[in-house]
Structure 1
Amino acid sequence: MKKIVYAGLFTFFVSVISFTARAESTVGYFGFEPDIITNYIGPSSKKMGYVRVTIDLMLTDTSDIAVVEHHTPLLRDALVEILSKEPEEKIKSLTGREEIRAKCAE
């Protein structure tokens, strides 16, 4: 009988702790709408391609969402500038995409 009581109390405390952790979370998300579409130059200067990306930002504080919304045009322009300068090989490879993601995060 004691084991059942201890198991019940343990389950109760774990659920209370996880609920408290979720209640204190102030993480927010912001998605750029519409998707960002830009051109890039292929290996030969005659061939052009385009890339379409969906970008979501994870913010550590939900109060920062208003700041990001205010600066969305500037952020979008910076992202388009970074993406348009990348070569086709980098855009099409997984490791290249990770490098581009890191560059955009700076």
Structure 2
Amino acid sequence: MKMISLPRTLSVLMLLFLSAVSTAAHAQDKPNYAYLGLEPDIVTNFVGPSAKKLGFVRVTIELMIADAGQLEIAEHHMPLLRATALEIFGQQPEQKVRSMTGREDIRLAVLKALQTHMKQETGAEIIKNVIFTKYLYDT
């Protein structure tokens, strides 16, 4: 049986302790995102190719919340979040709704508007990102 010296044992224990502390500190640096769906789907009209014809869009939106601890705050403001998304989609022309670049522009507009509203209401942006998980349209 091999004997391990006390100083060596202490050194090994100290390394294990420092490694655990470093891992715990590093874990705290990782984002703690949460996701919240705007339910039901956003369904609204947009102006079609002529003023006489309306198109419609149906979008499922998931909100990435910057911190899971802010999820309850975002849920509390759900009516404002939904109304903002509906308003933005309702203002879009057909060519923007139908194109991939337009869709991205709309997504960014929704994100910016939601962040602005949350900043005004809570003092923090809270919304990290907006994800369209379903995007259907018809004219």
TM-score, L = length of structure 2? 0.59
Q: Distance in 2 between matches of 1:60 and 1:71?
A: 15
Name the larger-Rg structure.
Answer: 2
- Find 1:82's aligned residue among 88, 91, 103: 88
RMSD over equivalenced CA pairs, Å: 2.0
- Name the counterpart of 1:34: 40
Sequence identity, in percent?
48
* Count of aligned residue pairs for this structure pair: 89
Query: Which protein is richer in strand relative to its size?
Result: 2
Which residue is 2:68 aligned to? 62
The match for 1:95 among 101, 105, 123 is 101
- Which of the residues 106, 111, 134 maps onto 1:105? 111
Tell me by how many angstroms 1:26 deviates: 1.7
1 or 2, which has the higher helix percentage? 1
1:51 corresponds in structure 2 to 57
Measured in 2, the distance between the counterparts of 1:69 and 1:77 equals 13
Shift in Å, 1:43: 2.2
Q: Which runs of 5+ in 2 are unaligned?
A: 1-18, 113-139
Give the match's secondary structure for 1:75: helix
Q: Distance in 2 between matches of 1:35 and 1:76?
A: 9
